[in-house]
Amino acid sequence: MRFRLLGIVVAACLAIAGTASAQDKIKLQWFAQSAFKLTTPGGKVVMIDPWLTGNPKTPPEWKDLDKLGKIDVILVTHGHGDHLGDAVPLAKKNEAPVWGPAGMDQFLTTLGVLPANLAPRFGKGGTIEPVPGLKVTAVHAEHSSEMILKDPATGKDTSYPAGEPVGFILQFANGFTIYHMGDTALFSDMKLYGEKYKPDLLLIPIGGHFVMNPADAAFATKEWIKPKMVLPMHYGTNPFLKGTPAEFKAALGQTSIKVLDDWQPGEVKEF
């Protein structure tokens, strides 16, 4: 009888440990381009560069924004339509703040697109804790940032400045770190970010033309940033973004860095 009770206790302890382990996981769902849904170990949901409804690579079922469920916060790297995307309707639907470049959020409030409480501002070098257990630092990205919005006076599409583009360093309480690069060309401070933050997972654009091509992205990954894992992103959504994961992987050559080139849009991975 004593041994039976001991077995039951051990089984219960293993079950509890398994549950705790599952709760410690970070869930990341990719929708193609630079769009992600991130669920923290504490169950908070963060959308990053949420271009879904207009994204040709996003699976059709995820173009229904209601299917995303409750969203707690939105991060946007810059004002281009394939990054700002559906941030505004998602913010209004969920009362979720859009954290992004200060100049972008300033125009969103000035033009009445979002109320000030849904467009908080921060800039490069700034660190926020938008949900418990997650710190987000805005870092440099070598790109531009404009946004096309309706002019409230004329009703016509008008181009507005949207601050300076950024990347995001996401640091979790469990020690896991993600570097979402946004859109960028090569710049040497990528080496500094690799040394300082030591990202476990790198999300890097490879399409070329507007961003790094596969060869430049591979150089930044292998020589400067040196993550444990890398997802090549921001390719194939328009004719200019010709770079492919196969080209990126070939340019990397022999390396211990794991390339997540099997990650399909709509798929969730746990870390």
> pLDDT in tens for each of the 271 residues of the chain?
554 544 544 444 444 444 445 568 999 999 999 999 999 999 999 999 999 999 999 999 999 999 999 999 999 999 999 999 999 999 999 999 999 999 999 999 999 999 999 999 999 999 999 999 999 999 999 999 999 998 878 889 999 999 999 999 999 999 999 999 999 999 999 999 999 999 999 999 999 999 999 999 999 999 999 999 999 999 999 999 999 999 999 999 999 999 999 999 999 999 9
Domain count, the chain: 1
Q: Is residue 262 one of the residues assigned to a domain?
A: no
Q: Is residue 46 one of the residues assigned to a domain?
A: yes
Return the closest-CA partner of residue 268 out of 59, 38, 40, 83.
38
Return the closest-CA partner of residue 128 out of 116, 113, 139.
139
Residue 61, domain CATH: 3.60.15.10
Q: Is residue 117 one of the residues assigned to a domain?
A: yes
Cα angle 232, 123, 78 (rounded to 5 degrees) comes to: 45
Q: Is residue 97 one of the residues assigned to a domain?
A: yes
pTM over 0.85: yes
Q: Is residue 68 one of the residues assigned to a domain?
A: yes
Please give the Cα distance from 186 to 87 (Å, whole number): 27
Residues in the chain: 271
Q: Is residue 86 one of the residues assigned to a domain?
A: yes
Sign of torsion over alpha carbons 36, 75, 213, 219: negative
Domain limits for position 72: 25-125+150-164
Q: Which long-range contacts (CB under 8 A, 24 or more apart) does 17-23 make?
A: none
Q: Is residue 136 one of the residues assigned to a domain?
A: no
Q: Is residue 50 one of the residues assigned to a domain?
A: yes
Q: Which residues pair with 169 in a beta bridge?
A: 137, 179
Sheet with 127-131: list strands edge to edge. Answer: 127-131, 134-140, 166-172, 177-180, 201-205, 229-233, 258-259
Residue type at 82 in one-letter notation: D
